[in-house]
Structure 1
């Protein structure tokens, strides 16, 4: 029996990524929701927290900054985090509808199929982040002009990390109804136990335990990578831990979608 014909890699990548983009375009409320969440924090909560949370001069900042300036990188991380979870939600839906099984039976490496979907979701998250940064500028919250260029690699890596986390979670979620609970136990702890809304030294003043939880949180390092890049600076430590977390989450996703252990075994 002859081997099944192999699909060229680039057309397959383009088709899977385009499917993600088309799904996003047809769900306009998803784009609005992705911007409303960070804007509420930026324009409403920041006004109340500005007086309560004093900020010292910490890297990468060279002078005192407003609280709104501080939380912009964290809110970009929030966009990528929610987008990664939203993309994984679509995977659970596709699995229930049967289209995921059809995709994974294509004569292509499974890791390549997942990588293509991950890249499509990451691209959407980056578009949302830049739209948010433009709105922040309109409200007078600007950053170094070069920072809007240097932030791109950080957004790509952070998006891949959080997207791979979503892939890993989706491989272990059996039903769409269970996804909301998983999101609540993943998104909110990752977001609030990080440096997205307040510097870690403020957390250390209140609790040493919570401080170390925040330090070990991979989302913290993704946010710091974005923060340094937005101010045309570089954090080797944040880059290292973000790369390590991306690799770990990707391995979990590949393990979860392994036919011998993950999707196919659960559905048989």
Structure 2
């Protein structure tokens, strides 16, 4: 009975923090909209797209990058959520949370769920704006994409938790974010198909194929068209488990990084 109130309190705290930071919501939407409405206009003529699953016909470039931009929203949201952990640790509130009489993995998972909930809401807001610009998906896709967004959000949020356990100071977080976010985003299928990357370099294609963010994007892409990609589901789930295990280890005062920072 003590788990549910604690879970609810942590999730509500994350939601209230997000509500009070309106700039964060605006920035989360402006970033993908710039790619969708500005960059896509230039790439449309330069990048030809063939018929590849889950698409049954030729599509516009704007349609192709929508799943990748949803992944971008979840990626940045996961990193920003982990930034709040570093801030809380410096201010001392994180120590109070971790000393609660509950398993540490449960506290971290509750915070992860709160961050994922916020990221999913941001994705649906972005999909609604894209729909207003006539960049749509099948109607059933807006329902079937929900589990994919949740799993991708958990995976990317767990990555942020793992990174936050290794960051000692708030000032160092920006550099770590750039070192992780941009390689993960650009070395993926978010902006261009993997077969396009293979035409340029087989090595880059292999790196993109091994990128967990690629599998998260493909999971969202197939789900947005009412289909399931078993391989993307498998690798996204494995990555989420590995990142969460690493985060739990990092916040374990007996073995992880938190003990070394005190």
Give TM class, smaller chain. over 0.9
* Alignment match, 1:99: 93
Q: Distance in 2 between matches of 1:265 and 1:10?
A: 28
- CA-CA distance at 1:259 after TM superposition: 1.1
- CA-CA distance at 1:261 after TM superposition: 2.6
| 1:165 lines up with 2:159 in the alignment | yes
* Alignment match, 1:175: 169
- CA-CA distance at 1:112 after TM superposition: 0.4
CA contact (8 A) 2:165 2:258 kept: no
| 1:41 lines up with 2:35 in the alignment | yes
Q: Distance in 2 between matches of 1:247 and 1:187?
A: 19
If the length of structure 2 is used for normalisation, what is the TM-score? 0.99
1:49-128 maps to which residues of 2 (within 5 A)? 49-128=43-122
CA contact (8 A) 2:189 2:217 kept: yes
Q: Find 1:189's aligned residue among 178, 183, 197.
A: 183
- CA-CA distance at 1:234 after TM superposition: 0.7
* Alignment match, 2:135: 141
Q: Find 1:234's aligned residue among 219, 228, 239.
A: 228
* Ranges in structure 1 where 5+ consecutive residues have no aligned partner: 1-6
Deviations 1:9-60 (A, max 9, x none): 0000000000000000000000000000000000000000001110000000
> Is the alpha carbon distance of 1:212 and 1:264 closer, same or farther for their aligned partners in structure 2, counting shifts above 3 Å?
closer
- CA-CA distance at 1:158 after TM superposition: 0.1
- CA-CA distance at 1:264 after TM superposition: 4.2
Computed over aligned residues only, the root mean square deviation of the Cα atoms, in angstroms, reads 0.8
- CA-CA distance at 1:263 after TM superposition: 5.0
Tell me how many residue pairs correspond in the alignment. 262
| 1:200 lines up with 2:180 in the alignment | no
* Ranges in structure 2 where 5+ consecutive residues have no aligned partner: none
CA contact (8 A) 2:250 2:258 kept: no
- CA-CA distance at 1:178 after TM superposition: 0.3
> Is the alpha carbon distance of 1:174 and 1:51 closer, same or farther for their aligned partners in structure 2, counting shifts above 3 Å?
same
* Alignment match, 2:243: 249
> Could you say what secondary structure the match of 1:186 adopts?
helix
* Alignment match, 1:28: 22
- CA-CA distance at 1:267 after TM superposition: 3.5
Q: Distance in 2 between matches of 1:179 and 1:266?
A: 17
- CA-CA distance at 1:266 after TM superposition: 2.1
- CA-CA distance at 1:83 after TM superposition: 0.1
